[in-house]
Chains A and B, each alone.
Chain A
Amino acid sequence: MRQLLLAALLAIAAATTALAVNPDEILADPALEARARAISANLRCLVCQNQSIDDSDAELARDLRIIVRERLTAGDSDAAAMQHVVDRYGEFVLLNPVVATHTIVLWVAAPVILLVGGIVVLLGARRRSRRVEPAGPIALSEEEVKALEELEGRKG
């Protein structure tokens, strides 16, 4: 599992050493910059392993960061700026997938599993409440009796 790194790292190493967000990209308006950062964290660097453009040092990520900032400066809303990038690069850039027919299974999987699991647990609880605890200890099985006799025979 050093592959964790190997894979992610190879991707980064293959890129240049330029840093993620560079000082020359940062917008003068802190509010606008904060919005740009938030959007960047949700956009994927297309040539990297699994990095957002905010974390990535690849050239392409830099281009995307600049595009986002340009759109925001031009007065786009967050959603519009994001849509602008999606229109150009496809929904693959979205780290948080959209809710649509082709992703519905992805989104509902966990709640459905929780629900089904919860129902099974509840049914189990009801079944147990109907069962009566046998009075007294459970009798030993034949095999256990034999094993016990063997042991006792040893000791005695």
Chain B
Amino acid sequence: MTIELGHFALILAFAIASVSALVGLTLWRRSDSRAALYLQQAAILQFLLIAAAFAALIQAFVTSDFSLLLAFQHSHSDQPLIYRITAVWGNHEGSMLLWVLILVAMGAAVAAFGRNLPRDLLTLVLAFQSLLAAAFSGFTIFTSNPFARLAPAPFEGRDLNPILQDIGLAIHPPLLYIGYVGFSVCFSFALAALISGRIDAAWARWVRPWTLLSWTFLTLGIAMGSYWAYYELGWGGWWFWDPVENASFMPWLAGTALLHSALVMEKRNALKIWTIFLAIITFSLSLLGTFLVRSGILTSVHTFASDPTRGLVILALLACFIGAAFVLFALRAGSLRAGGLFAPVSREGALILNNLLLATATAAVLVGTLYPLLLDALTGRTISVGAPFFELTFGAIMAPLLVILPFGPFLAWKRGDFVAVAQRLALAAGLALFVAILFFALSGASVSLAPLGLLLGFWVAFGALADIADRARLFRADMGTSLRRLFGLPRTAWATAIAHFGIGVTVIGIVSTSAWESELVTAMQPGANATVAGYTIQFDGIDRTEGQNFSGERGTFTITSPGGGMRTAHPERRTYSASGMPTTEAAIETYGLSQLYLQLGEPGDAGTSVVRIWHKPYITLIWLGTLLMACAGFLSLSYRRLRIGAPKPSSARQEAAV
């Protein structure tokens, strides 16, 4: 019964969203507030209904109701409670519903927080959100219905893919989807601005919190996914340039560009056309990602053929939304007035360079991801575009971006003084050079590009510190004044510095772990010793282990660190009882910022086991840096003056409207 109620709620939400879209798009020009009020209420209602539908699914999974086809296919009554819940979105239909849930949650948030928006803009934004909600809830209902029943109900389900039975599935998809789908608000704002003609600094201000929110969650989602892949996949890689990873990385790159160009639009009323374009592109890339992942075109071209409806419907939706957006853009972009003037060397100039490089990086990833598909479709030739290609092209574009990054926050708006900025950054540059050389000399390696990468990482990190120090007049004023200035700095200044510092930290992590990683693959007898990067690893033996829904073998290793400390590590090899699927669970020991990664392999002859051991120097910096970026995003979001929108004309305008 709950399942039917959930199904009904989903259909009702689809109907309400369709009506909302129609009402909003036809009546936005009306001067009375009824249309806006209706759309606000409808947005909140859509959210409540989809949430109810989602709750019905969760209930069926938690109680292991296998009369629900989806629960039968992707769950098992032996699974721990948390994995019965996460199994809801560990499949196509359920994750589509999660996608829609977050979409309508964003719509409801706009309705709830958008009261101080001009009424016509609010109506249009909600209308476009509703249109998206109608399209994607319709897609879910008609091609991927999660509420399909099975009669007679089987006794037991088929189990969730064991590799997905991990806390990562609880965290990674929701975070990523909030980021992905959050950009829909920017998209709706862009279309609303194009139709209503409200394209000005105030618009940039209204969009800013949504861009920040989406970007922050996308950052967390990607980082979390990367760490999950790192510890779960068991070969120690953390980024694979997999097409599906690229699908989430492209909106992030475009979103980062949007975050910066919106700044120029907000402060200087310039780059308006470009910012609107980026807002459209960013969400289009999110949609493209959804298409690539959901259609199955990437997993295998044949998946597409076996169920062409889903892929084709998403492709059609994609074409409609993106196509319509660009037509609208082409029609209206010409009517935009040029904004504020600025010299090439200025904050605006630096941000334009940032956007140029980020946009090129996005395009490089896009071309690399789609080219093999297109070439195959057009000529039948199959080629691979993998990590080596992306590392080369993406790296070549990122390096200049990292070089110019520290200059940006130092340059003044309108007209900057390059020489003065260079002088103020000289200390940071010198320090970066010194530390990079020191680091390199101490670690002693022969990888040619590593010192350059380290230098860039330290340069960006120290540049961010220099920015804060400069703003606080550290070492130039007395300590008291400096401290007072430090605490008096606006949160956005801190957020900028912390995010940029985070990028530096991530770069340092990436460079050091790829340059100085050590690896050992060996067959070990119980009692044998191995040495990697100064750590002595003793293999104590293997015993059986039993979990709630798996059994397996657990190795015991004693690690002696160079400092003399002893630790015990337990990598495992599991077999999940329901599916019979084997997995490996690596043991990861963190020493300071570095990690030792142990993986237990196949048993060999005479009681030996294959063991793979990696020492990954400073690898945690990769994720610490992304966490810093996300913290900066939240810090900036918490800055009240920028959170909701323009400085509070709301009450006056609303009263005036009554």
Majority-rule SS of B interface residues: helix
Q: Kindly state whether residue A114 has any CB partner on chain B within 8 Å.
A: yes
Measured CB to CB, the closest approach of chain A to B67, in angstroms, equals 25
How many angstroms between the C-alpha atoms of A77 and B608 in the bound complex?
Answer: 34
**B163, B168, B221, B523: which has the most chain A beta carbons within 10 Å?**
B163
Which A residues are in CB contact (< 8 Å) with B173?
1-2
Which B residues are in CB contact (< 8 Å) with A29?
none
Majority-rule SS of A interface residues: helix
Which A residues are in CB contact (< 8 Å) with B168?
2, 5
A8-B229, A106-B371 are known contacts. Are A19 and B180 too (CB-CB below 8 A)? Answer: no
Which A residues are in CB contact (< 8 Å) with B289?
1
State whether A97 touches B384 (Cβ < 8 A). yes
Q: Kindly state whether residue A41 has any CB partner on chain B within 8 Å.
A: yes
> Beta-carbon contacts of A92-111 to B below 8 Å, as 1s and 0s?
11111100001101100110
State whether A41 touches B652 (Cβ < 8 A). no
A1-B248, A4-B248 are known contacts. Are A50 and B241 too (CB-CB below 8 A)? Answer: yes
Q: Kindly state whether residue B237 has any CB partner on chain A within 8 Å.
A: yes
Q: Which of A2, A12, A44 contacts B386 (CB 8 A)?
A: A44
Nearest opposing residue in chain A for B375, CB measure? A102
Which A residues are in CB contact (< 8 Å) with B142?
none
Q: By the criterion of a CB under 8 Å from any partner CB, how many residues of chain A are at the interface? A: 60
Measured CB to CB, the closest approach of chain B to A42, in angstroms, equals 5
**A6, A55, A92, A103: which has the most chain B beta carbons within 10 Å?**
A6
Q: Kindly state whether residue B243 has any CB partner on chain A within 8 Å.
A: yes
Q: A20-B612, A21-B521 are in contact. List 7 more A-B contacts (CB 8 A).
A: A2-B169, A3-B293, A8-B244, A50-B240, A103-B371, A114-B360, A128-B341
Q: List 18 A-B contacts (CB under 8 A).
A: A2-B169, A5-B164, A5-B168, A6-B164, A7-B298, A13-B583, A22-B521, A41-B388, A50-B241, A50-B384, A55-B237, A95-B385, A109-B367, A110-B396, A114-B356, A129-B343, A131-B341, A150-B656
Residues of B bordering A, CB below 8 Å: 89-90, 95, 161-164, 168-169, 172-173, 176-177, 180, 221, 225, 228-229, 232-233, 235, 237, 240-245, 247-248, 289, 293-294, 298-299, 338, 341-344, 349, 352-353, 356-357, 359-360, 363-364, 367-368, 371, 375, 379, 381-389, 392-393, 396-397, 521-523, 573, 581-584, 599, 601-602, 604, 610, 612, 649, 652-653, 655-656
Residues of A bordering B, CB below 8 Å: 1-10, 12-13, 17-24, 26, 41-42, 44, 49-52, 55, 57, 90-97, 102-103, 105-106, 109-110, 113-114, 117-118, 121, 124-125, 128-129, 131, 133, 147, 150-151, 154-155
